[in-house]
Structure 1
Amino acid sequence: MSGFVDLQVNGYGGVDFNSEKTDEAAMVEACERLKADGVQSILATVITAPLRSMVSQIDRIAKSIDNVSEIRDVVAGIHIEGPFLNPDDGFVGAHPKAAIRPANLSDAQQLVDAGRGHVRLLTLAPECDQSATVTNFLTNQQITVAAGHSNASLDQLDQSIDAGLRLFTHLGNGCPAIQPRHDNVIQRVLSRSDRLMISFIADGHHVPMFALKNYFARVPNENIIIVSDAISAAGLGPGDYPLGNQTVHVDQSGAAWAPCRTHFAGCATPMNRMKQLLIAEIGADNVSLDTWMRTNPRRLIENV
């Protein structure tokens, strides 16, 4: 494996990509730390905030990619996670409810324009994208669309897949802890795993490793992607760390908790540690790891 390709990085090594205080020097520092930890390329991830703030954050990251070769060498593009997500408890996760909004072309265009051609991926909830209009719009611009933080029905998933949906973001998370035992979003997405790539956070906290092994047994190898969902705490150990306008607490086990301590808010586990866990806990071989952590995400970034 020549290096991890991580589609979901909110920050790293003390640097928060969702902070207006993060300048190009800080971005370079984060990129150097990522490379030292075996990461070849990432999508810098901007999470839900008031639309004006999201536009500003996306613009700032896009400019840093254009201006600084050390950033451009690592940051392959931008992943926009939100604001077109399901606002219901559990599904909304750590995203601020007040900033969630239905998918619409005007807002989507603003977000894309701010990225100056660097937006590669956008995560939305299909049930919030009427007639899959935004999914179709983004797909036609060669921007990969993912579902996530969603309670989409099978019909809504199928409609979005037909419109170009290619990925489901961090399955098993961004959903309530208690759900209907059979007809729930996890089972619906798994039933479409022959048509969708699916990303998973393999830190042992977001999804127990035994459950992850069960999911992997259902999903075709070519459709599995490992993401870190890393925040500024990644690789730094226990403590309190920023994620946008909130403070995340990383406990002694390495789990990253939202202020309410009822759900996780990003992840503090680097990709190299996830690789170790996948080997030790589910017996993953090097060929599979290379497919999940490099080949498949790169294929998605390159939109092939």
Structure 2
Amino acid sequence: MTAITKECINRWASTIKQKTFKSNDTYSIGSITHLWELLGDIFAGKSKSQNQKPKSILPNAWLSGAHFLFNNQSNLNIGSDGYDNYQAPVLNGNHQLYLRRLWARGSINISSVPELNSSLHCDEKVTSVRFIDENVLVNIERSFYSRILSPPLLVENRTLMYTNKLYFPAKTKPILLNEKNVLLVSPPIQLSSIDLLKYSMLTYNLHKIHIDTNYCHSIENLPTLIVHGPLQVTLLLYYFQLQYPKITPHLFSYRTYEPCFVNEELAISITENGDQFDLALCNPKDKRVKLKGQLHLLEKYQAPSHTW
């Protein structure tokens, strides 16, 4: 493995920040329908109850993470982990510097909803590159437009951590769910390897940590498959829309705290926090938080008379 210095990372960062990655797509009903069916099955569980599925797909889908389906990587420059290296720290245009990449944090700022079957234009830029010990955090901003030169429909920021450290369970104290002011906790859900494969196919994502158990064990020292970061975010926003279909989210900012593994029992909590909601994906038994974020609304929220 090539010795990694701040100088070589800074040179790469200086080059990558000057680039804008442009892509075109269509906000099509097919992909959204497949995502909605996947989410509905996850939340319906063994009963397959139709009561857990929203009656309409649009505009709820755009408010619930459907943008993750569109304008994705081209997979023309695949790294050793199966994911596209087009925005990864590399030397000489293609020499990979890091073995692993992890979804760390992000935000979704929603301004308006695209029309069905309308064009989607996306501009991607690397906005910051930071050294943290031996790791590198790369932030990518993705701006979606329905028409070129029009205001963005949605601006997403995602931060990926690149590291050469293999996975080991964290020795630090876990973040636990604070049950004060909790309004709702979902019934337990579990994501199967088939669920992860379906989401990988929908998002054109070849990252092996989501689909290849042997790779997880032998290369990254992971116990099993990891649930995609975008899928975790989508689960939170989708469940919120199930419970509050008349509320329009505006800004969701979040961070991950520990890996979320396939077949792990999970639950989603919704907590009132002033004029915003805290959404968390956690283990319902030990209350360990996997991913947590703050949801801001377009209009002030009026709390219901009941609480969980």
Instruction: Give TM-score scaled by structure 2 length.
Output: 0.23
Q: Which has the higher helix share?
A: 1
TM-score (norm 1): 0.24
Larger radius of gyration: 2
- The structure that is strand-richer by fraction is 2
